[in-house]
Amino acid sequence: MTAIEKLKYGAKMKKSIHRMLFYVLVLALCSIFLMPFIVMLTTSFKTGSDAFTIPVKILPRQIVWDNYPAALSTIPYMKYMGNTVFITILSVIGQLLVTPMIAYSLSKINWRGAKVISGLLMAVMMIPYTVTMIPLYRVFSQLHMTNTYIPLILPAFFGKPFFIIITRQFFNGIPNSLMEAARIDGANEFQRYCMIALPLCKPVLTTVGIYAFMDAWSDYLAPMIYINKPDKLTLSLGLQQFMSEYTVRWTELMAAAVLFVLPVLVFFLFFQKNFVQGVATSGLKA
């Protein structure tokens, strides 16, 4: 083996070792983040005594399938599921309708105050929900909209600052020459938005849709504030019914939690390619 071949072989081995170390690090981090889900999943197949037996084991000593039917029958699970799906679908639709329109106007339409509005959106992102929680409740209460789904759905049709910002950044990556060519061909502003901008922003809209889905599906604080009627509860609130004053039915609660998390996992896995592409390209600038 010549000296050049030895150098190439050494460089190849060094690259392979670095790649192996990278994968080991990624697997270690993944195992850390997945551990709570693994514990939840395995606990859902345990008996009540097995879940707290010392020494604690990750895998169940005896697989129990009855926790899932029991979880579905202990609370009106399907009713709560229907309520959550209804709120989530309308919230996602609202965000996907309004967010690109606002972002497009801030990015591709020259109008007085666009930069000011963009700056205000960045500032509003730093205001936590707990600050606006009480004023919003007073507004919806005076409008007699409490114990309805309107306070949970209506804000989605006004856009969320974070979604607007990342969508605006994506629109900034679309060449202005493309929009000007369409204008020269006779397309008006709405046609340029519908025929050019929207088809190109599919990745970032997928990102917005996933975030909006997760926000609406797992929202706990807003339904707790506005919903008091038992038949209108969402799943995030309904899971509390597994916790009584003196005990918690942990195995059934974990089974219900697994069923609660599965739609989010399936939704993310189905759109993960577009999600990653949207996150990677939303920071481009024209």
pLDDT for 91 equals: 94
Query: What CATH code is assigned to 76-281?
Result: 1.10.3720.10
Using DSSP's 3-state secondary structure scheme, residue 243 falls into strand
Enter the pTM of the model.
0.82
106 burial via Cβ count (<10 Å: 0-12, 13-18, 19+): buried
Residues 40, 254: contact at Cβ < 8 Å? Answer: yes
Residues 283, 169: contact at Cβ < 8 Å? Answer: yes
Say whether pLDDT at 119 is over 90: no
Give mean pLDDT, residues 229-245: 84
Round to whole Å and give the CA distance between 151 and 145.
Answer: 7
243 forms beta bridges with: 248
Round to whole Å and give the CA distance between 145 and 150.
Answer: 6
Say whether pLDDT at 52 is over 60: yes
Give mean pLDDT, residues 141-156: 92
Using DSSP's 3-state secondary structure scheme, residue 148 falls into coil
Say whether pLDDT at 96 is over 60: yes
pLDDT digits over 152-205, tens only? 999 999 989 989 998 888 888 888 888 888 888 888 888 888 888 888 888 888
Which residue has better confidence, 280 or 13? 13
248 forms beta bridges with: 243
245: which DSSP letter?
S
Which residue has better confidence, 46 or 52? 46
pLDDT digits over 204-228, tens only? 888 888 889 989 998 999 999 999 8
Indicate the average pLDDT of the chain. Answer: 84
